[in-house]
Structure 1
Amino acid sequence: METLIGFAVGFVVGTQYGRDGLAKVRDSWQAISSSPEFHNLLRTGAAVAGSAVREVMNGDISEIVASITRKLDRAA
C-alpha cells in the first residue's frame, strides 16, 4: 500500500516538472508494477475479494467481516 501512495505522491510532484517529471513517474510505475511486493498485494486483494464473494453468496455477513479481517491481519 505504501508503494501505491508513494506512486500517487510521485505523480503529483512529477507533473509539476513537465516531461522529465512524467518520464520519471512512468519509470517508477514500471518498477513498482513489476515488483514482487505489488504482485503480492494484488494476489492478497484477489484472495480477500474472492472469499468475500463466496461468503456473500452464503449469506452470512458477520462471517464475511470476520474472515476479511483475519485475512488482512495475516497478510500484514
Structure 2
Amino acid sequence: TSYDMADMVLTDEMQKAYDLIENTTECLYITGKAGTGKTTFLKYLVENTHKNLMVAASTGIAAINAGGVTLHSLFN
C-alpha cells in the first residue's frame, strides 16, 4: 500500500514552512542536507496546497523522486 500524505504529521519546522508558503506570493525554494525530509515535505505540499507549484531539483534523481524536473530543463 502507498503512504497517504494526508496522514503525515508535520514537524514544527515543516508546519512553519507550510504556513509561510500558504500565506505568501513570493517565490521560495527549499534547501537542506540529505535526509532532512525535503522530498517528503514537497510531496505533502503538492497534495495539500491550493497553489500552483513548480518542483525542480538540481539532479535528475532528485527531480524524479520529487515529481518535478531538473533546473536545467526548467530554464532551458
TM-score (norm: length of structure 2): 0.25
- Larger relative helix fraction: 1
Q: Tell me which structure has the larger Cα radius of gyration.
A: 1
Larger % of strand: which? 2
- Greater RCO structure (CA 8 Å; 6+ sep): 2
What's the TM-score once normalised by structure 1's chain length? 0.25
